[in-house]
Amino acid sequence: MASSKTVRKLQVVSPVPADIDIANSVEPLHISEIAQELNLKPNHYDLYGKYKAKVLLSVLDELEGSADGYYVVVGGITPTPLGEGKSTTTVGLCQALGAFLDKKVVTCLRQPSQGPTFGIKGGAAGGGYSQVIPMDEFNLHLTGDIHAITAANNLLAAAIDTRIFHEASQSDKALFNRLCPPNKEGERSFSNIMFRRLKKLGISKTKPEDLTPEEINRFARLDIDPASITWRRVMDVNDRFLRKITIGQGPEEKGMVRETGFDISVASEIMAVLALTTSLADMRERLGKMVIGNSKAGDPITADDLGVGGALTVLMKDAINPTLMQTLEGTPVLVHAGPFANIAHGNSSIVADKIALKLVGPGGFVVTEAGFGADIGAEKFMNIKCRYSGLTPQCAVIVATIRALKMHGGGPQVVAGKPLDHAYLNENVALVEAGCVNLARHIANTKAYGANVVVAVNMFATDSKAELNAVRNAAMAAGAFDAVVCSHHAHGGKGAVDLGIAVQRACENVTQPLKFLYPLDVSIKEKIDTIARSYGASGVEYSEEVNASHFVPSILHGLSSASV
């Protein structure tokens, strides 16, 4: 049960102040108090200041035999430029469950990138009276996980170019001497990571001196095709002028110029690996199997081929532990990983969810958020994250707003930062009903996985009762378990109590097992076709370039064994 020690009753005011003003008006509890309410002992976590702590994976080992709580995922209708409030609803729902419905609850969120934080989108701590605090620490640096990803990613990038440089300028013998230098006694040996490469090459010999010249050539030369390299350097800030750069212009690089560029750190495949890993050993395997490009013969080259899989793991050894924080009303939050849904799977980590489900126990709730709309984030949550975690959600919440439904119904264009058209500020039931086609498709798609669907209508002051009723009627007609109007932005957990009750009922009344959209053993084109048809497409056509390309299969080789 929730404790009166940690639950904090908010003093809300109207109109709602700025998010940062609300966040700064509340003094966070010491994080040890939040940990204590989850029955975490001091040896279960490392403190990062007064308001953050890293929860250690050893907790999972200790609680291995205990039962899980209910598992809830929050998605949304197709996103609009102004956002629909998934993070705010996720936090508000948890505040309602913990502070008002006396349930044990943990919120599991992704760590925000500094790119959106310093851009027009802002952070990802929620909003209004449904936020994670301290807001500034949540949005800036946190406990350094993204910086660890940056360091590991760029180490691999440097190793790629360095290997190309050395292979272009040295003989097989010189390369082999660099890889297997003799010790003081003049003896050579293979490291564990080298045995991985030897096995991949089909070489069973265990002593360096036993390799033939041809085997030395195959072992020492990766022969990376520079044009095939997909691994780029990263940094956690929007710097558009680094999207395309040239490297290797120094005199010592002997004219080995290559055009490349930077991605944002959370776009690194290492971020996707972190979110999908289940243990330190599993992360080591996934990092080593990441594909960075092809050899000139067309064979995929991995991080382990470069010999840096172990080094990447060392840089990530602390980042694998989720960060414990709190909401405005003193309910616990686990923040971990932050892959984007348009290029990865858009969900927080498996290890955070697993730890949380053990900590809340039977009758408790773990609420996590899937990025983008339910057609991307929730689809990948089910088909990718749940497939690898083995976890089954009982309820899926779909967040909708009247404003967004009007847009989907054909309303005037909305541009962030510009005043809203009068159509979004005045009642127009017909426009709302037209947009509910989008909501209905999301409900049908999400129900197909077997979870009960609850629609959360994130209410704004300009929404009329008739418009709100139209959304509820459309949601119920589309097969939703329930549809609830929420005011958690303005009222905190109190404004999401009805949503909390609906979610509890939905979790207690699941009748179907989890069903995946596609099996893993079908072709990539079959998977793409299945997903596209679920969105409403009649089929998929491929250009001649795609059909003739070897790029997709080589990338899939990496994704199937590493991040996905």
How confident is the model over 324-351, as a mean pLDDT?
A: 94
pLDDT of the residue at 562:
46
> What is the pLDDT confidence band of residue 252, given thresholds at 50, 70 and 90?
confident
Three-state secondary structure readout of 47-112: ECCCCCEEECCHHHHHCCCCCCCEEEEEEECCCCCCCCCHHHHHHHHHHHHHHHCCCCEEEEECCC
Residue 442 confidence (pLDDT) above 60: yes
Token duo for residue 462? 């300009």
Torsion of the alpha carbons at 23, 24, 25 and 26, rounded to the nearest 10: 70
- What is the DSSP-derived secondary structure letter of residue 4? T
Question: Do you find a cis peptide bond into 208, omega within 30 degrees of 0?
Answer: no
Residue 305 confidence (pLDDT) above 90: yes
Q: Which residue has the higher pLDDT, 254 or 370?
A: 370
320 neighbors 283 (Cβ within 8 angstroms) = yes
DSSP per-residue letters across 504-551: HHHHHT--S----SS-TTS-HHHHHHHHHHHHT-S-----HHHHH-SH
Q: Tens digit of pLDDT for each residue in 401-426? A: 999 999 999 999 988 778 889 999 99
Other CB atoms within 10 A of residue 89 CB: 29
Q: Tens digit of pLDDT for each residue in 171-213? A: 999 999 999 999 888 899 999 999 999 999 999 999 999 999 9
pLDDT of the residue at 518:
95
Strand bridging mode 126-127 / 482-486: unpaired
CA–CA gap between residue 56 and residue 44 (Å, rounded)? 6
Residue 557 confidence (pLDDT) above 50: no
Boundaries of every domain in the chain: 19-143+318-509, 146-316, 525-557
3-class SS of residue 130: strand
Strand bridging mode 452-458 / 482-486: parallel
- What is the DSSP-derived secondary structure letter of residue 362? T
Residue 475 confidence (pLDDT) above 60: yes
pLDDT of the residue at 9:
81
Strand spans (E) along 375-481: 395-400, 452-458
pLDDT averaged over every residue in the chain: 92
Q: Tens digit of pLDDT for each residue in 64-120? A: 999 999 999 999 999 888 788 999 999 999 999 999 999 999 999 999 888 776 766
Residue 357 confidence (pLDDT) above 80: yes
pLDDT of the residue at 164:
95
CA–CA gap between residue 253 and residue 266 (Å, rounded)? 30
Percent of the chain with pLDDT over 70: 95
Q: Which residue has the higher pLDDT, 376 or 498?
A: 498
> What is the pLDDT confidence band of residue 121, given thresholds at 50, 70 and 90?
low
Query: 146-316 domain in CATH 3.30.1510.10?
Result: yes
> What is the pLDDT confidence band of residue 7, given thresholds at 50, 70 and 90?
low
> What is the pLDDT confidence band of residue 253, given thresholds at 50, 70 and 90?
confident
pLDDT of the residue at 1:
41
> What is the pLDDT confidence band of residue 514, given thresholds at 50, 70 and 90?
very high
- What is the DSSP-derived secondary structure letter of residue 183? -
Phi, psi for 341 (deg, rounded to 5): -80, -20
Q: Tens digit of pLDDT for each residue in 308-318? A: 999 999 999 99
Domain 19-143+318-509, CATH number (from 3.40.640.10, 3.40.50.300, 3.30.420.40, 3.90.1150.10): 3.40.50.300
pLDDT of the residue at 4:
44
